[in-house]
């Protein structure tokens, strides 16, 4: 009796054991394609500061030589691109405001593009903040992709914020008049907030450890911001250098969006040289996300190395 029972159990067990295998094989359909992964915020700690870069938009653009390297031949542009493993006929443009939590204040540098669904709110919320927590909004300059997120349907996007921006920048664009595309945007988006805005010159201290630096050229009042805490520094470069290859390796290449092309090139050489000498990483508004990297000198120009684990631990 006991032998029969044992055999039966063995058969049952064997059958039971084989069943799930058969079932799982039958049910094991190909995993669905999920599309590219998307990371829209990146936070690291530096001293007392928490610094978060926010990816608020990304776009693919054709014919990049219409924007970068306007003063060099197509052959030279294609060769420089190939040497750096990027296509010459297409580019990715990123839009990356930076959020700094000093422990006392939450400070947002630039606001991204406008539109019905504001990328800046999406990324800010994904990073764990709400718009009413932002204490200060700093505008590095007033191109539309930096001021577009200031207002939502005529109301301030960041209801409790005050604002800081350059006097020169504000006056330059306002003087263009409301008919001018950017002048009109500044009149609509920045001017209504003027009472809550502190208009500054370079070297102004936004908060302890945050200092405005003159990086004019891209626009007349363009400023970058040096962050310093715990004996370390990071430079918010905004649009001083807009491509990790074409602007870094070839700082003299003309860029369509630089208001003063000669001054912009001189600023790139001066500031990138300082960052390379002092080994200070930069956050570039239009650089590949998460937009943080190091600058070194290479040949006649500079080389960009994306940050890895320098701020972990
Ligand atoms: Zn920009």
**17-32 confidence digits (pLDDT tens):** 444 444 555 678 999 9
Q: What is the mean pLDDT of residues 142-166?
A: 95
Domain ranges within the chain, ordered by starting residue: 40-306
pLDDT at position 25: 56
Distance from residue 93's CA to the centre of ligand 1 (Å): 9
- Give 145 Cα–ligand 1 centroid separation in angstroms: 5
Q: Are 155 and 161 in contact (CB under 8 A)?
A: no
Å from CA of 146 to ligand 1 middle: 6
> Is residue 117 very low, low, confident or very high in pLDDT (cuts 50, 70, 90)?
low
Cα–Cα distance, 41 to 253 (Å, whole number): 30
End-to-end Cα, the chain, rounded Å: 66
Ligand 1 centroid to Cα of residue 62, in Å, is 17
User: Would the pLDDT of 15 be above 60?
Assistant: no
Instruction: Give residue 190's pLDDT.
Output: 97
Report how far apart, in Å, the C-alpha atoms of 52 and of each of 39, 107, 246, 261 are.
Answer: 12, 10, 25, 30
Residue matched to tokens 């530096």: 46
Of 23-27, 55-59, 193-197, give the lowest mean pLDDT range: 23-27
pLDDT digits (tens, 9 = 90+) for 204-226: 999 999 999 999 999 999 999 99
What pLDDT digit, counting tens, does each position of 173-194 carry? 999 999 999 999 999 999 999 9
What is the distance in A from the centroid of ligand 1 to the CA of 86? 21
C-alpha of residue 18 to centroid of ligand 1, in Å? 61
287 Cα to the center of ligand 1, angstroms = 10
Note the pLDDT tens digit of each residue in 236-270.
Answer: 999 999 999 999 999 999 999 999 999 999 999 99
Ligand 1 centroid to residue 200 C-alpha, Å: 20
Q: Which CATH superfamily is domain 40-306 in?
A: Ribonuclease Z/Hydroxyacylglutathione hydrolase-like (3.60.15.10)
> Does the structure show a pLDDT above 80 at 8?
no
pLDDT value of residue 26: 60
The answer to whether 65 touches 74, Cβ cutoff 8 Å, is yes
């Amino acid at each position: 009796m006991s032998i029969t029972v044992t055999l039966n159990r063995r058969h049952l067990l064997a059958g039971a054991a084989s069943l799930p295998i058969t079932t799982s094989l039958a049910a094991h359909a190909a995993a669905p394609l999920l599309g590219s992964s998307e990371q829209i915020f990146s936070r690291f700690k530096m001293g007392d500061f928490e610094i978060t870069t926010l990816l608020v938009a990304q776009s693919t653009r054709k014919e990049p030589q219409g924007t970068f390297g306007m003063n060099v031949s197509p052959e030279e542009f294609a060769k420089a691109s190939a040497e750096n493993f990027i296509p010459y006929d297409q580019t990715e443009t990123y839009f990356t405001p930076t959020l700094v939590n000093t422990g006392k204040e939450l400070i947002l540098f630039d606001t991204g593009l406008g539109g019905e669904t504001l990328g800046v709110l999406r990324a800010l919320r994904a990073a764990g903040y709400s718009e009413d927590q932002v204490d200060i909004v700093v505008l590095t300059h007033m191109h539309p992709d930096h001021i577009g997120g200031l207002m939502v349907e005529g109301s301030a996007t960041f209801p409790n914020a005050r604002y800081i921006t350059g006097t020169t920048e504000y006056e330059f664009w306002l003087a263009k008049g409301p008919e001018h595309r950017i002048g009109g945007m500044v009149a609509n988006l920045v001017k209504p907030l003027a009472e809550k805005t502190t208009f500054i010159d370079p070297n102004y201290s936004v908060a302890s450890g945050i200092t405005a630096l003159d990086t004019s050229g891209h626009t007349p009042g363009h400023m970058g911001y040096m962050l310093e805490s715990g004996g370390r520094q990071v430079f918010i470069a905004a649009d001083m250098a807009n491509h990790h290859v074409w602007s870094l390796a070839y700082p003299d290449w003309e860029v369509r969006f630089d208001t003063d092309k000669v001054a912009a090139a001189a600023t790139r050489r001066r500031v990138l040289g300082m960052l390379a000498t002092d080994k200070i990483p930069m956050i570039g508004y239009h650089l590949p996300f998460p937009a943080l990297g190091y600058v070194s000198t290479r040949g006649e120009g500079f080389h960009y190395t994306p940050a890895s684990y320098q701020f972990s631990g």
